[in-house]
Copies of this chain bind each other. A is one copy, B any other.
Amino acid sequence: MKVETLRWFNNRLEMVDQRILPAAFEYLSYYTAASVAEGIRSMVVRGAPAIGVAAAYGVALEALRLQDKLAVEFKDGMEAGFTVLAASRPTAVNLFWALQRMRRVWESVAEQAPQQIAQRLLAEAHEILAEDIRINKAMGAHGAVLLKDGARVLTHCNAGALATAGWGTALGVFRSAVEAGKKISVIADETRPFLQGARLTAWEMVQENIPVTLITDNMAGYMMAQGEVDAVVVGTDRVAANGDVANKIGTYMVAVLAKRHNIAFYVACPLSTIDLNIATGKDIPIEERSIEEVKGFRDYHWAAEGVKIRNPSFDVTPAELVTGLITERGVVLSPDAQSIRKLMMGRVV
């Protein structure tokens, strides 16, 4: 089954409701920037690249919705749409990257009629979606080379088709390796509190018959100590100019353990996730989400009444723990400020 995380259908955006997977596979429909923003905030859609694509469609939907207004009303409405989308989630830079790209397109045709602007923005959203899949496949090809035949690869959270427009970043590397004829097996951290590993990564791998073993997050060290992990590949929500990596909470822990056990730790990272405006990881804003998520799962709560709760949704893995960044332009080993600058300037690294 090919997973279409987001799709344009009957002049609306449809997104798989990832909150109810794997129990149910359903699409929700979106017509406005505000509803897309709410879909991002509530994690109907999640994963940095998918959030970027969703935000691009949010801008296009808003333009379509406002295209019969006067130019001044159209402009004000569009600005409000950008604002609500930008406020949906703070950590993934792809959100801001996609909004900036849509704004530039808008500015390039600002003199045209709203209907024409709307069509141009919709075309750009389609292009961002198609590009995302192309980029993932390019990353997959570069990353697949790093995995030996028979590799047992641990991943955290879901950097799969469901986190992108298709294929996936980290899981895209696994798909590409399998496509290239390598036997790969995946170890999926369940990834509390939202359980993206247990629900989404496990589901995606089962769909494709890629062998996958589920563990709780606190078993990763045991598996490594037993010699059952050959490599780690994760996604990322933002990479700083010096190579520090923000990703789902718990990624840092996996990286520290991998270092201790001399296991390669790779980050699958489209260029749109690299933020040269952020010098180091400590400047990346870390979203703290509702404490309800940690009390239990969905409406089922098990935590003792009266306990305080923290819920940082991301952490930062320092560049020194990263064996390599897998990008659509190639793999940057031991990333640092210099090699990342070169990468972004388009040089072969």
Contact = CB atoms under 8 A, between A and B. Distances in A.
A195 B302 CA distance: 8
A300 B250 CA distance: 23
B252 A221 contact: yes
Among A206, A215, A249, chain B packs the most CB atoms within 10 A around the CB of A215
A222 B297 CA distance: 21
B310 A202 contact: no
B222 A312 contact: yes
Q: State the main secondary structure of chain A at its contact with B.
A: mixed
A315 B230 CA distance: 19
A5 interface: no
A304 B218 contact: no
Given A221-B253, A256-B256, 20 more contacts: A22-B304, A188-B307, A191-B218, A192-B217, A198-B304, A199-B304, A202-B307, A203-B307, A205-B307, A206-B304, A212-B307, A214-B307, A214-B308, A216-B249, A219-B249, A222-B249, A222-B252, A225-B315, A253-B257, A300-B300
29 contacts: A190-B303, A198-B302, A199-B302, A199-B303, A200-B304, A203-B304, A203-B307, A205-B307, A206-B307, A212-B308, A213-B310, A214-B309, A215-B294, A215-B309, A216-B249, A217-B217, A217-B218, A219-B312, A220-B253, A221-B252, A221-B256, A221-B315, A223-B310, A225-B252, A225-B316, A253-B253, A296-B297, A297-B297, A297-B302
